Structure 1
Amino acid sequence: MTSNLWRPSATIEALRHRAALLAEIRQFFTVRKVLETEVPVLSRRATSDPHIDSIPTQCGGDNAYLASSPEFGLKRLLAAGFGDCYYLGKAFRQGEAGSRHNPEFTMLEWYRCGWDDRRLMDEVADLLSEVLEIQQVQLLSYRELFQRELQLDPHNASDSDLHRCVEQEMDLAFSPADRSECLDLLMSHRLEPTMGEGITLLYDFPADQAALAKVLPDESGTPVARRFEAYVGGLELANGYWELTDSAEQLRRFQADHAYRQKHGLNLYPYEERLVEALRAGMPECAGVALGVDRLLMLAGGYKTIEEVIAFPIERA
């Protein structure tokens, strides 16, 4: 029995479009004097994020992991004094499969020393506007979006209010585990489709969704995570932070992630203590952002699925 799985899923036109996009991205950063760097995609440490699973492997008889992001390596370079830098290459995540996901994907991640999240949002908008030829950009706080569409303050609403809102807005066969899952469900199923066709930059997330971002009070005094996400037509493209530089707080968050994983029966991984050491040595104040290049190419070329822009997705790898 013959099979066509040896063939690429993407057309030659799509792969030429990919090559042109990568060249355009590199030119964007060359003009801005941001250095392209390489960091390991194979590491003895894994992600701690409870919502992401690293792909395990072996190296020299020891456990190793394919990098889910270049973040830790880039931050170690920043702490060593390398200055503004970016990575454009492969990243890997367990269980990521679907029309918009592949376990092996192309990520763009960059860091700007001395910048905060607001200034980096402007540069993300510049890149997306240039690549996608879109001029319409809207800035919305997380609170503004929830209040506009659901008449709900996501920072101050009670857990029962959030569960009630989920029940009213969605027909689920299960009950969300906590307020964070309620907010994630409302965002992905109810709010993302309302963002329109232009570029939307959503900022000031709930403090318990800070990941590796600073937590600071907003204009109302509410502690918020100084992070943002970029969307085009409701499709999430980028996730950025005003980066945490406090080594003790970084260690606390790693340990909290580990405890969460243990409590919920998730895979336990060795976290990146070398990042804690780098922060202790003195990483400069900076903002950083990660952007999904395959999704960007889908939008730029009008492709419907990720397999149209990857030569060999996991089913053909």
Structure 2
Amino acid sequence: MTENFWQPTASAEALRHRARLLADIRRFFADRDVLEVEVPLLSRRATSDPHIESVTALCGGQPAYLATSPEFGLKRLLAAGVGDCYSLGRAFREGEAGGRHNPEFTMLEWYRVGWDDRKLMEEVGELLGRLLGTERMRSLSYRELFLQQLELDPHTVSDVELRDCAGREVELSFTPATRDECLDLLMSHRLEPAMGEGITLLYDFPASQAALARVVEDETGTAVARRFEAYASGMELANGYWELTDPEEQLRRFHADHSYRAAHKRHVYPFEERLVEALCAGMPECAGVALGVDRVLMLAGDYSRIDEVIAFPIDRA
């Protein structure tokens, strides 16, 4: 038996801070008449995202999956007419561990009916400013960030130039295989650490990184994903979309995710066809965002590791 592993890794003050933060979040949404709802944590369907792995369990002798986010359940409620709503609870992702990751973590996700990503960005900024106690905030496009820091347009730069830039700016022991891999490496290793203090809201991502966001043309005629991310002190906190409502396009993206996973020898999970059915029934125009609560707490309390804000991380669970 390992000595002292019965003890929590978070201090009593950190746990009190967590309780205050959760209460502040609920007060924020109560003041705006956004309904708190609960959706299943255990489902027969799993994420199709090529870069996220589900935690698998057995239920009734059949495979079931712990939710990587409450997204699918919330969207089904939107299609049923529930209106503005949010979920504040646990989410699970296989293989995520480290200073900023734990396989079990707290996620806040909310949806605003009739809003687009730009309007939701404003509310995300308001919430983060309140929770982090800062008024320092800036918004800029994905293109603007790359032009400012690297003097290249991520939407139009050639594959060769982009790969050369990644090789110059990031110490690599391998050659990135795709444009998106180069962009992700530059973002995580070069651009995020340079964001500095305050909140950064980054929008209009490459169309290839749309996930479940709409793709539209920007003012230059470039196809971009109407998606945004929120950062504070170089740490990614939130990821939001002007949500896709086209069932045919949603189904196409699910199949594309499965093809990618199969081609890269990753497990192919059963996808959530009930979301497609909900879109067919008519999910309203809306914007949604997911926010990592543990990371917000780390920044709010000046904690350096996620296990300082979680009572029992995976190695003590």
Q: Same fold (TM over 0.5)?
A: yes
CA distance in 2, matches of 1:182, 1:269: 27
TM-score normalised by length of structure 2? 0.99
5 Å-filtered alignment, 1:273-288, equals: 273-288=273-288
The residue aligned with 1:18 is 18
TM-score normalised by length of structure 1? 0.99
Q: How many residues align?
A: 317
Q: Which runs of 5+ in 1 are unaligned?
A: none
5 Å-filtered alignment, 1:130-141, equals: 130-141=130-141
Cα offsets for 1:109-135 (capped at 9, x unmatched):
000000000000000000011111110
Cα offsets for 1:191-221 (capped at 9, x unmatched):
0011110100000000000000000000111
CA distance in 2, matches of 1:230, 1:2: 39
The residue aligned with 1:236 is 236
The residue aligned with 2:35 is 35
RMSD (Å), alpha carbons: 0.7
CA distance in 2, matches of 1:34, 1:16: 25
Distance 1:2 1:167, change over 3 A: closer
Amino acid at match of 2:207: A
The residue aligned with 2:84 is 84
Cα deviation, residue 2, structure 1: 5.5
Establish whether residue 207 from structure 1 lines up as the match of residue 207 from structure 2.
yes
Amino acid at match of 1:179: R
The residue aligned with 2:191 is 191
Identity %: 72
Establish whether residue 179 from structure 1 lines up as the match of residue 203 from structure 2.
no
Amino acid at match of 1:80: A
Cα deviation, residue 10, structure 1: 0.3
5 Å-filtered alignment, 1:2-13, equals: 3-13=3-13
The residue aligned with 1:125 is 125
CA distance in 2, matches of 1:16, 1:268: 40
CA distance in 2, matches of 1:163, 1:266: 25
Amino acid at match of 1:115: W
CA distance in 2, matches of 1:171, 1:305: 24
Cα deviation, residue 157, structure 1: 1.1
Amino acid at match of 2:63: N
CA distance in 2, matches of 1:66, 1:160: 40
Amino acid at match of 2:125: A
Establish whether residue 146 from structure 1 lines up as the match of residue 137 from structure 2.
no
The runs of at least 4 aligned residues of structure 1 exceeding 4 Å deviation read: none
Q: Indicate the larger mover: 248-257 or 165-174.
A: 165-174
Distance 1:178 1:2, change over 3 A: closer
CA distance in 2, matches of 1:287, 1:175: 36
CA distance in 2, matches of 1:35, 1:130: 20
CA distance in 1, matches of 2:170, 2:14: 36
Amino acid at match of 1:65: Y
CA distance in 2, matches of 1:269, 1:163: 32
The residue aligned with 1:70 is 70
Amino acid at match of 2:37: T
Cα offsets for 1:75-100 (capped at 9, x unmatched):
00000000000000000000000000
Amino acid at match of 1:229: E
The residue aligned with 1:54 is 54
